[in-house]
Amino acid sequence: MRAKLADAANVLLVIHPGTLGDVLVAIPSLRVMRAKFPRHDLALVARGEVGDLLKQAGEVSQVCGLEGAFGSTLFGGEPILPSPWREWLGRCDRAIGFLSDPEGTVRATLDRFAIAHVTLRSPFDGTLQAIHQSARFIEIVDQAVPTKVRLVPPLQISHNRRAEAGEILRSMGVKLLGDGLVAVHPGSGSPHKCADPRLYAGVITWAWDRGGQAVMIEGPADGEAVSAVTGLLSHRQVPILKQDDLNVLAAVLAQASLFVGNDSGVTHLAASVGTSTVALFGPTDPSRWAPIGPAVQVLQGGPCGCRPDWSRVRTCEARPCLRIDVSTLLSLCQRIVGT
């Protein structure tokens, strides 16, 4: 189902200032909005490329970056709006913002555009009853706590994007797609969430031993984590994908039969496109932050005695919560791929 309706449809404005993973777990709430307001176009204000990803997948009709003029207008009160946003806001009668607004700046801006129905509430609001972040977004939208949230169907990737991703992989020497390809991402937004590099080296070697291929994802801050893994693979080089285009990365991940990663935006992305995903969790709580794709398994080490005090997490050297046995991980991977 495409989110784009007739040009004359009313607009529901959605404001989400979160990071990649946080926006991806909000997709079910966007689908709830579309079901509740089927005659509205959804216009999303979000960071970076994630908005464009959701637009191309048909989840929203229009996107605008928080870093642009509309973000300045929204949070700074500057009355500068690019077209077509002036026209879109002229048709907007509802707005939902996943944020706190203690100074009232955002609400004042929305009031200036005479938006009749405005809901502004942070998913970190202590009065929310839902546990998982995805369910908290739905609770904000629907004022009810869902019992379970799954992303079914997964995020849609176009045929052209899949073909582009296939060409990129083949140019890297990856000849086997689908059942023969395993993707790993050893990095994260925080080094304190990164599992032992030996786990990733073990998955890559396992993929090779079963006649498959592996590709390793490297983001802008992942150099150290990637180097730690490659240093354990002295007998063979693994192709490393450095891809800044989120749409292309999503299509690459959709080509794999299995993805293994830490608690990171890339792991959420792999799960969102429907790839079988093993998420390695440590100091963060999977009951709150686990990916919500249709085929997700979570592995975690021992109990985390530091949570929720992140200052203790930063100074913890033992890291029992990330002590995941390699054989346990590989057994799970074997069960997932089935051969």
CATH number of the domain bearing residue 239: 3.40.50.2000
**Same domain? 111 vs 186:** no
Residue 147 lies in a domain: no
Q: Let me know the angle formed at the C-alpha of 119 by 116 and 120, rounded to the nearest 5 degrees.
A: 130
Q: Band of the pLDDT at 3, cuts 50, 70, 90?
A: very low
Final residue belonging to a domain, choices 142, 177, 199: 142
pLDDT number for residue 4: 43
**Same domain? 134 vs 172:** no
- The 3-state secondary structure of the chain reads CCCCCCCCCEEEEEEECCCHHHHHCCHHHHHHHHHHCCCEEEEEEECCCHHHHHHHCCCCCEEEECCCHHHHHHHHCCCCCCCCHHHHHHCEEEEEECCCCCCCHHHHHHHHCCCCEEEECCCCCCCCCCCCHHHHHHHHHHCCCCCCCCCCCCCCCCHHHHHHHHHHHHHCCCCCCEEEEEEEECCCCCHHHCCCHHHHHHHHHHHHHCCCEEEEECCCCCHHHHHHHHCCCCCCCCCEECCCCHHHHHHHHHCEEEEEEECCHHHHHHHHCCCCEEEEECCCCHHHHCCCCCCEEEEECCCCCCCCCHHHHHHCCCCHHHCCCHHHHHHHHHHHHCC
Q: Band of the pLDDT at 320, cuts 50, 70, 90?
A: confident
Domain of 85 in residue numbering reads as 10-142
Which of the two residues, 236 and 258, has the higher pLDDT score?
258
**Same domain? 193 vs 261:** yes
Q: Band of the pLDDT at 187, cuts 50, 70, 90?
A: very high
**Same domain? 35 vs 101:** yes
pLDDT number for residue 227: 96
pLDDT number for residue 73: 76
Average pLDDT over residues 158-177: 90
**Same domain? 137 vs 271:** no
Distance from CA of residue 189 to its chain's centroid?
12
Which of the two residues, 282 and 48, has the higher pLDDT score?
282
Residue 2 lies in a domain: no
Q: Per residue in 193-220, pLDDT tens?
A: 999 999 999 999 999 999 999 999 999 9
On whether the CB atoms of residues 102 and 89 are closer than 8 A, the answer is no
Mean pLDDT value across the chain:
90
**Same domain? 88 vs 236:** no
Residue 125 lies in a domain: yes
Q: Band of the pLDDT at 1, cuts 50, 70, 90?
A: very low
In the chain, how many domains are there?
2
pLDDT number for residue 307: 82
On whether the CB atoms of residues 211 and 285 are closer than 8 A, the answer is no
Q: Band of the pLDDT at 178, cuts 50, 70, 90?
A: low
pLDDT number for residue 113: 85
On whether the CB atoms of residues 287 and 269 are closer than 8 A, the answer is no
pLDDT number for residue 278: 98
Q: Band of the pLDDT at 79, cuts 50, 70, 90?
A: low
**Same domain? 264 vs 126:** no
Q: Band of the pLDDT at 314, cuts 50, 70, 90?
A: confident
Final residue belonging to a domain, choices 108, 142, 176: 142
**281 φ/ψ angles, rounded to the nearest 5 degrees:** -105, 150
**Same domain? 178 vs 33:** no
- Would you state the structure tokens that stand for residue 310, as one six-digit string? 């992140």
Return the axis-axis angle of helices 27-36 and 133-142, rounded to nearest 10°: 20
Q: Is the pLDDT of residue 221 over 80?
A: yes
Q: Is the pLDDT of residue 2 over 50?
A: no
Residue 152 lies in a domain: no
**Same domain? 203 vs 305:** yes
Residue with tokens 């057994």: 331
